[in-house]
Structure formats: structure tokens, C-alpha cells
Chains A and B, each alone.
Chain A
């Protein structure tokens, strides 16, 4: 494969994949430590009804209404889960299960009922995304990276996810201390005057934004995998939160790159003709990395846990 072909076909999906993975892995670190890992699962299920409603309201497959719909659905889901948990006095796992399956079912029903034939909007797309189709036709060579006209032809998902990833990284840096404090010792954080429940809610909203932005490009399956696998693997590598976050970013980027490459070229190496799902492969490589961390990670045991 020549340089030009690589830039046209693979550069944009690779960068989008890596940025999506990092955007999800960053909040994932805190969700895992707070035992809220499955919030990511719930959010990525309810994105479907959100985009369907966004589509029905705006009447077109345009990105912003659908993104707003998805973000709105995520917030509705979080509020509903809390309501069912508190008012119904139901354990949070079951409360999540009740809410996200029902909202997902509603999304599928709405999709079937509305006239979306001829429109590229279906459940499969929501699940696996369309990473492979995000090609950059104007990227005819390395020089295109410096050519404003060619850069304007980049897939719109790229600047969007870049912006979201940068914003999440910045938020994580700026609010590092309060986040860390309220994650590890909520009681102490409250006594020193931190608004812990606001921090918790904001974390979930940021996770929802990451999920929605990444979902748009790569589908919900990568979103769940990236919320959980890289941070979980990183947790087994170190006891220090700073290093854990760095490890998780490395693992996320590594899964995205190796998953994409394996999906695109792996079948060719094995003598096949067609590429396989990049989204699925990225989730699988994230799983392999996590499995290795479970087997060999230096800090895989809790103190006192028997081997």
C-alpha cells in the first residue's frame, strides 16, 4: 500500500478510532473506580432512541439534531435510573437493566414505525458504526496534510471527536484533584467542601458526551469496550491514579490502532479477500490487552486477595 492510499483510506479512521478510544477511556478510569462501569453500557444502549428521536424531529439525517437527541436520551436515562433506584428502592444494576433495555426497545420500535427506508439509519449501524467508510478522498499524499483545501474534505467526524477528546482531556486535568478526592474518599471530599454529588453527575454527563461523540463515528460496541477494558487493564498495572490514566490512554490507542490494522489487513494475511468489522476487532484487541493484564499485570491482586 502506497503512502497516498494509506492517507486516503486509513489515516482518518485510524485517528478517529484512537481519539474515540481515548475520549471514552479517560472518564472510564473514574467510572471503574467508582463501581459505575456499567453506566457506559447503559448510555450506549439509550443512544439509539436518542438518535431516532433526533432524526424524527429534524426530519433529516443531520448530525447535530441526532447528537443532541442522543445526549438528551443519555441524561433522561441517568435520571430515570436514579428515579427507579430511589423511588422503587431497586438495586442500581437492576434499575439500569430496567431502564436501558426499555429505552432501547422503544428506539427499535420507533425506528421500525417511522419511515426510514432509504435513509442510512439502522440498528446495525448504531451497533458497529461505520469506521471503514470514513475515508478522506482529498488526502492524495502527505502534502495534503498541509493543504487547507484538502483538509476541509476530512470527514466531519474527525474534528468533532478531536474537539470532544481535547475537551475531556482538559477537564480531566483541570478537575484532577477534586475528581481524585471524591472518587477515592467521598466522605472526606465532602468534609473539605467539595460538591461530591455534582462531581459524580458531571462525570456521568461527560461520559455521555464522550459516548455520543464516539458513537457517531465508531458505533456503540467500541464505546462500551473503551469505557471499561483499557481502564480496567490499566488498574492492574499500577496503584497510582496518574499512571493508571496514562496506561489507559496507551492501551486505548494501542487497541484502536492494532484492531483497525488487524481488521483491515489481517484477513489478507490469512488469505481472505474481504476486510472484517473494524469496530468488533478493536473491541477484541482491547479484550486481549485486558486479558494479558489480568494474567500478568503487576498489581492484578487486591492486597490480601489469595492467588
Chain B
């Protein structure tokens, strides 16, 4: 299995597998970077409606091709048909949200289910046509790249590159609209038109990906990479290229895995690889990741415990919380029997002094932001200037700890 995987990943698993790998990698890169803008605009699921709305177009294009005397399996023609119906679906979503009081999610769900239902009706019509028995249009549901021809691969590659180029060219207005539509309007960008451009790019990805990944799962490639990339950066520019990398890696690894063993469908395995990358990002990303957040939380709790413990020592109160006792003991501030060490006494006195300084600061600087920022944990030297502290100390009188 591993050998065949390596073979597939180095494009030696056969001509067709190599075609598929190139196609899915390019598709993943283009989908990830395009999806970023829709994700940041918080409209990720519109792409689900658009994807499902491609099906009636595929069916109608097939019927039209057969009526004109063709065999109906012309990929560019089917893709063109799917693009038309996806565009109609998108316009219907926009129309319902603008013209009625229904919310966008209801419009998305309605378009998704009704267009898909119509597509299924057309598929059964095609199955009943004499020339449609072997149409294989069901392949568009989940994708079936195994039968991909060179011209199909070139089509996917060119379309993916065109979309990517457009994303790069239009990234500024799209970023502005995604983050701050009001500001975008004020500098003369049409939010409505930019939204349509974003969705048109997503639609292009969808129709190009139909043959490879299928219309039910293509939406995953638009949503999951940006969601994963968002964990790694707060800058839109970085999220775009990280999402592209996540999408590309998913496409490449997924195609490799699919070629390396039997009965691994390409579309689903790409989505699952993508989900693994998402899960890893959610767990391990610095700052926004779960583990980083847990570590921060733990650190915060320890600071609270240390402060409460030191104040209790200073007031000579008994400490009952076992976690606080363990912490103070670990840091050598108290002995095992709970009595403060010299270091502990010194730190406790400092904590006590800072606490009293804060009391004075709060009384004298009531309206100052610096005092409001006091979260009881930061050393006072980080918040107030040396002069301010000296003034406070003058009011407090000589520090007590000097006596001991």
C-alpha cells in the first residue's frame, strides 16, 4: 500500500492517475483560495446551493445534445449547461433574500433542494430515453475521475488557472467587501457586484470540479480549506494562500490515496484528507488552535492561583485550595507543611503592596483607561509609569515589608 502510494504521488502509477492527480491538485488550490472570500464573507453555504443547482443544467444539456444528434457526453457542453443552471440558482437565492422576508438560509435550502429535485427528475427522464441508458450522469453526483481523458484534464487545469488568476487580480475589492462592506461602499466598490463576482468564481470551481469530485462534495473544497487556514493567520492575504495550499495538498494526497488502493473513491478521500488537515489546524495552530487556547487558559488559572495564594500568605490566612498549595509548593514559595519560605514571604509582601497601590490608583485615577485595564494579574509596573507608582507610594507611606 505504501509503495503504491509513493508511486502514485510521484506520478508513476499510470497515465490516468497522473492526470487525475494534476487535475485535483490544481482544483484544490483554486477552490481553497476562491472559497476564502466566501468564507470570510460568512456566506459559505451559498456555494452548497450553487453546487446542487448544477444538476438540472447537466440534465438539460445532455437532453439538448441528444436532441441535436450528439451522444450527450461532451464534457464542456455539460459544464456549460451546469454553469447556466447554477447561475440561475444563485440569482434565485439573491432574489428571494432581497424581495421577500425570508432569510438567506431558507433561500439557500429551498434552491438547493428544489433544483436538485428537478435534476433528479431530469436524470430519470434521461434514463428512460433510448440513448440515455449509458449516460453515466450519476457520476456527476460524486465525481468519477477514473475515466478522465487528456482533454478533460487540460480543461480542468486551464479553468483552474484562470480562476486562480482572477482571484489574484480581484483580491483587493473582494477582501474589502468580505471584511467591511460599508467601507467598501464608501470607497466606491459595489458590494452587490463584488458578491456576484465571488459567487461566479465559486460557481466556476464547482462546475469544473463536477467531473472530479462531484456536486455534493465540491462544496467541501470551497469551505474546509479556508476554515483550516483561518486558524493559522489573521491576515486575509495569508489565509488565501494557506487555504490554497491546504486545498492543493488535499487534492494531491487524495488522488494518490485513491490510486493506491482499490475501492477508494477520489472525491470522498480528498474531502477526508482535507478534513484531517482542518482537524490538525484546529488542534495545533498557534494562538487560535485548541491546544494553544488550553495552554493559555491553564496559564491564566495559575496566575490567578499564585496571586490569591500570595495574598492569603500576606494576610496570614490559611490556604485551602489544593491546586494553589501545590503550585506554591512547586515554586518554592511555601514549605511542605504550608509555612511560607523566605522567598514566599517576600513575594507575598510585594503582592500585598501592589494590591494596596491598586486601591489608591483606582481611587485617584477613576476615569483612566489604564486603571480599567487592570485585570488583577498584571504587575502594576506594566500598566502605570514609574512616576505614578512613586506618587502612589508616597501616599501609602513606607512599605511594610522593609521592616521584616
A interface vs B, CB < 8 Å? 32, 35-38, 40-41, 45, 84, 87-91, 93-98, 101-102, 104-106, 108-109, 112-113, 123-124, 127-128, 221-222, 224-225, 227-229, 232, 235-236, 263, 267, 272-277, 279-284, 286-287, 290, 294, 297, 299-302, 305, 307
One of B60-68, B93-101, B204-212, B390-398 at the interface: B93-101
Given the interface pairs A94-B42, A97-B219, A109-B265, the reply to whether A277 lies near B123 with Cβ below 8 Å is yes
Determine the distance from Cα of A254 to Cα of B125 in the docked complex, in whole angstroms.
Answer: 23
What 7 A-B pairs have minimum CB-CB distances, sorted nearest first?
A283-B117, A287-B114, A280-B120, A302-B101, A101-B220, A225-B113, A105-B271
**A305 contacts B101, C-beta separation under 8 Å:** yes
Interface SS, A side: helix
Would you give the shortest CB distance from A39 to chain B, in whole angstroms?
9
Cβ-neighbour of A287 out of B110, B141, B217, B219 (below 8 A): B110
Which of chain A's residues have a CB closer than 8 A to the CB of B227?
84, 88, 90, 94-95, 97-98
Least CB distance from B266 to A in Å reads 10
- Cβ contacts A to B, 7 pairs, < 8 Å: A32-B102, A98-B224, A104-B217, A112-B263, A123-B141, A124-B138, A287-B113
Name the contact of A236 in the complex, choosing from B100, B220, B224, B278 (C-beta under 8 A).
Answer: B100
Q: Which residue of B lies closest to A224 (CB)?
A: B113
For residue B380, give the distance in angstroms from its CB to the closest CB of chain A.
32
Which residue of A32, A101, A221 is within 8 Å of B117 (Cβ)? A221
- Distance between Cα atoms of A123 and B268 in the complex (Å): 12
Q: Is B282 an interface residue (CB 8 A)?
A: yes
Choose one: A95, A221, A236; the contact of B113 (CB below 8 Å).
A221
Q: How large is the interface on B (under 10, 10 to 19, 20 to 34, 35 or more residues)?
A: 35 or more
- The answer to whether B48 touches A41 (Cβ under 8 A) is yes
Q: Give the docked Cα–Cα distance between A94 and B42 (Å).
A: 7
| Cβ-neighbour of B105 out of A37, A282, A297 (below 8 A) | A37
The reply to whether A96 and B45 form a contact with Cβ atoms under 8 Å apart is yes
- Taken together as a complex, chains A and B put the C-alpha atoms of A42 and B8 apart, in Å, by 34
- Say yes or no: is B106 at the interface (Cβ < 8 Å to chain A): yes
CA distance A35 to B116 in the complex (A): 22
Q: Are B106 and A113 in contact, CB atoms less than 8 angstroms apart?
A: no
Q: Which residues of B contact A286 (CB under 8 A)?
A: 113-114, 117
A36: B residues at CB distance < 8 A: 105
B58 CB → nearest A CB, Å: 14
Is the CB–CB distance between B121 and A284 below 8 Å? yes
The answer to whether the Cβ of B108 comes within 8 Å of any Cβ in the partner chain is yes
Q: Is B76 interfacial (CB-CB < 8 Å)?
A: no
Contact B117 A281 (CB under 8 A): yes
77-113 of chain B: CB within 8 A of chain A: 96, 99-103, 105-106, 108-110, 112-113
Report which of B142, B268, B278 forms a contact with A98, defined as CB distance below 8 A.
Answer: B278
Which of A221, A228, A300 sits near B120, CB closer than 8 Å?
Answer: A221
Q: In angstroms, how far is the closest chain A Cβ from the Cβ of B303?
A: 23
Check: B362 CB closer than 8 A to any chain A CB. no
Task: Tell me which residues from 8 to 60 in chain B have a Cβ below 8 Å from any Cβ of chain A.
Answer: 39, 42-45, 48
Interface 1/0s, chain B 212-246, versus A by CB < 8 A? 00001101100110110011000000000000000
B275 / chain A contacts, CB cutoff of 8 Å = 98, 102, 105
* Across-interface contacts of B216 in A (CB, < 8 A): 45, 101, 104
